[in-house]
Amino acid sequence: MGRWFALAAFAIVLFLARDILPPFVIAGVLAYILSPLVDQLAARSGLGRRLAAFLVFLIIVVALGLLIWLIEARLAAEIRALRAAGPSIVETVVDRLTGGQTISFLSQEVTPRDLASRIDVMVRSTLTDWAGSPGGALQTARSALELSLRLLLGLIAFAYLLIDGNRLMGFLMRFVPEEHREHVRIVTAEVHVVLGRFLQGQLLLIVVMSVVTYVVLEWGFHLPYALPIAVATGFLEVIPLLGPVIAGAIASSVGMAHGGPTEAGLLALTYLILRQVEDQLIMPFIVGRTVHLHPLITIFAVLTAERIAGVLGMFLAVPIAAAIRVILEYAYPPEKAEEAAVPARERVRRH
pLDDT above 70 (res 81): yes
Question: In which band, very low, low, confident or very high, does the pLDDT at 163 lie, cut at 50, 70 and 90?
Answer: confident
Contact yes or no for 241/302 (Cβ under 8 A): yes
Report if residue 70 sits inside a domain: no
Give residue 206's pLDDT: 86
Q: What share of the chain is helix, strand, coil (3-state, %, to 5)?
A: 85, 0, 15
DSSP H or E segment with residue 170: helix 166-173
Q: What is the pLDDT of residues 266-277, one digit of tens each?
A: 999 999 998 888
Q: Is 34 exposed, middle or buried (0-12, 13-18, 19+ CB in 10 A)?
A: buried
pLDDT in tens, 25-46: 888 888 888 887 888 888 888 8
- Does residue 111 form part of some domain? no
With respect to residue 138, please indicate whether it lies within any of the assigned structural domains.
no
Interatomic CA distance for residues 280 and 258, integer angstroms: 31
pLDDT digits (tens, 9 = 90+) for 88-134: 777 777 777 777 666 665 566 666 666 666 666 666 655 555 444 44
Indicate whether 222 belongs to any domain.
Answer: yes
| Nearest of 105, 182, 201, 293 to residue 305 by alpha carbon | 293
CA separation (Å) from 201 to 24, 112, 213, 274? 21, 43, 18, 17
Q: Is residue 313 part of a domain?
A: yes
Structural domains of the chain, count: 1
Q: Is residue 286 part of a domain?
A: yes
Q: Which domain holds residue 346?
A: 177-351
Query: Partners of 104 in the beta sheet?
Result: 109
289 SS3 class: coil
The reported pTM is 0.70
Tell me the helices (H) and strands (E) count for the chain, helix number first.
Answer: 13, 2
Does 276 reside within a domain? yes
pLDDT digits (tens, 9 = 90+) for 241-292: 778 888 999 999 889 888 888 899 999 999 999 888 877 776 666 555 556 6
